[in-house]
A and B are shown apart, each in its own frame.
Chain A
Amino acid sequence: MTAEVFLFWFLAIVTVVSALGVLFMPNPIYSAFSLIMTMIGVSALFALLGAYFLAGVQVIVYAGAVLVLFVMVMMLFDLKSEIKAFTKGTLGGVFKIGSVAVLAGLILSAIMVTTQGVAIKFQGQADFGMQPTRLLGNKLFTQYVIIFEILGALLLVVAVGAVALSRSKGGTHARRID
């Protein structure tokens, strides 16, 4: 068993267990901490696949910024651990789980058919010709530059929208006199 194989199984167990933690933890704060563990595990898997730049960005963006926002919002809300964390209804629940299971079976069979079992091996080392990070930048700013610009505009819109939404008059504070 090589180090790569051992790392894969270790990281797979870490990510799956912490993902299940997101699903089953009754307190959303613990869910968030589980999700952080998942993100770090996924980032390590990226590194295992040779995508070092993405691995770094994954930790900086998700663990360093997005989930911090989640955790801060939760702490401000002072949420108690919920007794009824899951939606009600036995029939609905069975239907939901059943449909998810059907989807899982579909995806799994699609993977099995396309990869013929697990026969597809990665060939050698990750090799993209030149330095992968440099190539990534080149592609991002030439071939994909339009999508990049659109995303920039989207981020601006989202920033404005988020500020507008969170400044809307809520019920908890005294109404502002305009």
Chain B
Amino acid sequence: MGSDIFEVTVNALKLVTIFLVMVSLVPSLVWLERRGAAFIQDRLGPNRVGPLGLTQLAADAVKFIFKEEFVPAKAIKFMFYGAPVFALLPASLALCALPLGPIINIIPFEAFGQTWGPYIFSIQGYEASLGILFVLAASSLAVYPILMAGWGSGNKYSLFGALRGSSQIISYELAMGLAILGVILIFGTFNLNEMVTAQNGPLSFSAFDYSMTLSFLPNWGIFYQPIGAFLFLAAAFAESNRLPFDLPEGESELVAGFHTEYGGLKMNLFFIGEYGHMIVASALMVIFYFGGYLIPGVSPEQVTQFLSGFIDSQNMTAVLSGLIHLGAFSIKVFIFLWIFIHVRWSLPRFRYDQLMELGWKTMLPWALGNLILTAVIMAAIH
């Protein structure tokens, strides 16, 4: 965690902040989703409570909290109550391991009559050396809250929803993992920070003593792994149970799937888990294929240099540069979140057998082909 009280405090605050940001992003995403749906369907959406309907979120939260606490008679209490709490865990664990900005070097400074030694902070909850593996492991646990909810509710529809959801998640995990393997081959590392720094600078291909630089394009992963990026995006939709893959909660067949019996705050926790998955998937997409926190055309050093023209303090410059990159990262993530929302309201739902066929007979072979192609090209170049 750190060597003295300042470092420990900052690191602990980072963890708490990232979790709270994830939780509090959800209401704004719900608002965005409802307004976005209305925009796509040519209606108005919630616009009565407050400016642009923004305080509708607060009203919803109050409604959620004050709803009756309800447990079905046949429910298994332990699992029924445990599932929503557990649903929060995987997404928040994964989100804390993602690099959200560059590393901030703090030089020694004086405060409270004491010198605080040099620090190195990363804008990241904690750094796992094998970042991708950690994120995959954390998000592979996301099956269990669904299964617990389905089994604990003591309801046929819930059970069917849970079984569908879990089989869908483990099927699409394969295609997702293979798509990620292509990225690992390209960058040659498991570490998410190193991946992002490898995408710095303009796009340049080099093979067989011949190199080509396209200075107008950034050196992003998508130009090396276009098929992988598309497969990853599609698998991410399935992993986070969103339309067009939201069979686990297909309301025309299963009432509401695994959370049929949930209401109030417990339902809200499931919501936070689902949106958390969306946020993690978008952030991973940005880190793997769209340069992470890097601003296209500008390197972090240039940003720091530009800022130091205005500000004297070196520490302030470093922190400000970190925040600017955090902003760039958030903008990219929001673009992908919007894609998630846009797709939800534009595409119809798959049928279940079509979903499985797409996963096993289309995406898996394509992902395997992409992996083999990447491996062959990498072997030929080196």
Q: Direct A–B touching in the complex (beta carbon < 8 Å)?
A: yes
A53 contacts the other chain (Cβ, under 8 Å)?
yes
**A22, CB-defined interface residue at 8 Å:** no
Interface residues of A in 50-66 (CB under 8 A from B): 52-53, 55-57, 59-60, 63-65
Q: Assess whether A133 is in contact with B130, with CB atoms less than 8 Å apart.
A: yes
B143 touches A56 (CB 8 A): no
For the complex, give the distance between the alpha carbons of A129 and B143 in Å: 37
B141 touches A59 (CB 8 A): yes
- Please tell me which one of the listed residues B141, B148, B190 contacts residue A64 in the complex, with CB atoms under 8 A apart: B141
B163 contacts which of A29, A53, A72 (Cβ < 8 Å)? Answer: A72
Whether B159 is near chain A, meaning CB under 8 Å from some CB there, is: yes
Number of interface residues of A (CB under 8 A): 20
Give the chain A neighbours of B147 by CB distance below 8 A: 68, 71-72, 75
* Residues of chain A within 8 A of B15, CB atoms compared: none
A75 and B143: CB pair below 8 A?
no
Q: Which residue of the partner chain B has the closest CB to A43?
A: B137
Residue of B134, B159, B163 touching A56 (CB-CB under 8 A): B134
Known A36-B144, A56-B136, A72-B166; judge A64-B130 contact (CB<8 A).
no
Residues of A within 8 A of B190 (CB): 53, 133
Q: Beyond A36-B144, A56-B130, is A68–B136 a contact (Cβ under 8 Å)? A: no
Q: In the assembled complex, which residues on chain B have CB atoms less than 8 Å from the CB atom of A60? A: 133, 136-137, 140, 177
Per-residue contact bits, chain A 82-102, to B (CB 8 Å; 1 contact, 0 not): 000000000000000000000
Complex: chain A residue closest to B137, CB-CB: A59
Structural contact, A64 and B173, CB atoms closer than 8 A = yes
Contact with B along A113-155 (1 / 0, CB 8 A): 0000000000000000000010000000000000000000000
B128 proximity list for chain A (CB < 8 A): 52
Q: Which of B125-165 contact A (CB under 8 A)?
A: 128-130, 133-134, 136-138, 140-141, 143-144, 147-148, 150-151, 159, 162-163
Q: Which of A29, A33, A52, A59 contacts B129 (CB 8 A)?
A: A52
Q: Which residues of A contact B137 (CB under 8 A)?
A: 43, 55-56, 59-60, 63-64
Q: How far is the CB of A76 from chain B (nearest CB, A)?
A: 7
Q: Is B28 an interface residue (CB 8 A)?
A: no
Give chain A's interface secondary structure class.
helix
Bound-complex Cα distance A72 to B141 (A):
14
The reply on B170 being an interface residue by CB < 8 A is: yes
Within 8 Å by CB of A75, from B129, B141, B163, B173, lies B163
| Bound CA span A53–B128, Å | 11
Per the bound structure, the CA–CA distance linking A53 and B148 in Å amounts to 28
Chain B residues with Cβ under 8 A from A72's Cβ? 147, 163, 166-167
Q: Which of B130, B141, B143 is the one whose CB lies under 8 Å from A53?
A: B130
Cβ contacts under 8 Å, A29 to chain B: 151
Contact between A63 and B130 (Cβ–Cβ < 8 Å)?
Answer: no
Q: State the Cβ distance, B359 to closest chain A Cβ, in Å.
A: 14
Given A36-B144, A71-B147, A133-B190, check contact A64 B133 (CB 8 Å): no
- Complex-state Cα separation, A76 to B136, whole angstroms: 27
Q: Which residue of chain A is the closest to B141 with respect to CB atoms?
A: A63
Q: How far is the CA of A33 from the CA of B141 in the complex (A)?
A: 12
Cα-based distance from A64 to B137 in the complex (angstroms) = 7
Interface centre among B129, B137, B143, B148 (most CB of A within 10 A): B137
Per-residue interface assignment for chain A, residues 18 to 58, with 1 indicating a CB less than 8 Å from any chain B CB and 0 otherwise: 00000000000100010010000001000000001101110
Asked if A68 and B151 sit within 8 Å, CB to CB, the answer is: no
CB distance from A55 to the nearest CB of B (A): 8
Q: A22 to nearest B CB, angstroms?
A: 16
In the bound assembly, the distance between CA atoms of A77 and B184 in angstroms comes to 40
- Taking a contact as CB atoms under 8 Å apart, the answer to whether B133 and A68 are in contact is no
Give chain A residues whose Cβ lies under 8 Å from the Cβ of B151: 29, 75
A157 to chain B, nearest CB (A): 19
Complex Cα spacing A53 to B191, Å: 12
Q: Are B163 and A76 in contact (CB under 8 A)?
A: yes
* Residue numbers in B under 8 Å from A71 (CB-CB): 144, 147, 166
* Complex A-B: 8 CB contacts under 8 Å: A53-B130, A56-B136, A57-B133, A59-B140, A60-B133, A75-B151, A76-B163, A133-B190
Closest 10 CB pairs between A and B? A64-B140, A56-B133, A59-B137, A56-B137, A52-B130, A60-B140, A68-B143, A60-B137, A71-B147, A68-B170
